[in-house]
A and B are shown apart, each in its own frame.
Chain A
Amino acid sequence: MTAPLLEVTDLRTHFFTRAGVAKAVDGVSFSLAPGEILGLVGESGSGKTVTGFSLLGLVDPPGRIAGGSIRFDGRELVGLPAEEMRALRGQRIAMVFQDPQATLNPVLTIGTQMTLALQAHGRVSGRAAAERAGAMLTRVGIPEAASRLSNYPHEFSGGMRQRVAIAMALLNGPDLIVADEPTTALDVSIQAQILAEMKTLAKESGTALVWISHDLATVSSLADRVLVMYAGRIVESGPVGEVLRAPLHPYTRGLLDSLPAMAEPGQRLRQIQGAAPSLLALPPGCPFAPRCARASDICATPPPAVERAGRLALCHHPLDAAA
């Protein structure tokens, strides 16, 4: 077991709004080894994006990291001065966002943007920067890369734009990339191309990857381990195959059963009742209890962490025990 690249312990990112404190991330712990691909799965409002943003120090007021620790390569990121965080961001930790349209500056050519990203973290001549940028575009599968450096973002298709965003993230050879729903806005055939390339790139360069997605199938085909989030907490974690084959947490089971691929065509899906609770008014104890078929009186108290050979679930009634 190598030393973890990233170790998150009891992370709490809260939003202090007028309506009350929204605990978007509430006690999240996980670690990531170099070169590992970690899938972070959850529905809207589960805190998966806020977790990703917290790693990069991108949480804006009224939100802030209210507690916990993020150790990256032995260094504590929580409370790191903004200057030092800036130096780290884009250099050793990079991010790919969902919408490449919003990530890229529409009035600068992508060559200029990539050069700026290189020069922000070291002395690089314009020519050397252009060369490195062109090489990186080729690597993410953009044809005639050198000539496309002078293009503006609007001259690329959605899939190509996301490739540019990925190339920019890879530019400084980061140790960790946080990718937030990077293929959600793309078509199936383009998504498959990008997934295949991400997998190869991560393997070749030894970059660790946190892949945030609502899509269990995408995560299952890409990630080594998976974290399932619900209402700001990780309710289940473990190797992706084991978790999806035999989930311990009723929520993970419910998510899987909600997928049309898991049912006979035309049959009713086994849906989860109700909707996710408001983060402003979480029920005491297990946040999933109001929607859970296995819930009992004890679920009104905080659920224990159940451990099973490298796997973890937060549940009073894990699925491998009698109800």
Chain B
Amino acid sequence: MPWSREEIAQRAAEELQDGFYVNLGIGIPTLVANYIPDNVQVILESENGMLGMGPFPYPDQVDPDLINAGKQTISELDQTSYFSSADSFAMIRGGHINLAILGAMQVAQNGDLANWMIPGKMIKGMGGAMDLVAGVNKVVVIMDHTAKDGSPKFLKSCDLPLTGSSVTDLLITNLAVFQFEEDKPTLIELAPGVDLDEIREKTQAEFVVSPDLKSN
């Protein structure tokens, strides 16, 4: 059984370490906040200008002046601070954020990431994604292993416009986890019921298999 959206988020939450300052992207990455381990405290950054992002507000505490980078209403915590967009990206670009978790459309074997544009189809923009992947210490990327038509999304090289070049540190798909440290990515973990043959069949990127490959 491949991992569900929630299980992918849960797996990504294992990357959180006590005391980390963390930026979570829109979509599945947002769900990671639901799975922060009990013995770990992290501070969530929202790039529109907030550190110490709290949970969604109670209905009578909704405040239009208090949203996250996905434009959702949120709440503040005792340790919360607010600051300008320039200060926000100073902490991102300046390497002060320990971990970012982002979604992707394509990832390449050299760590290239594409998640902001499909030429001729989608014009939304990169938002803060290019700054995050350029500045944050560790970049965890989450995506489905294949596209809806079954074609691979983990590729030799991306054909979509890049968000960043060689920026991925860890890729978590619904089928497997890959680490980017050496020349080639290393397969380190398989989702339950997924075997190496299935990964090879659904992956275009070249990768090596960790001698400590973990099966779930």
Partners in one complex: no
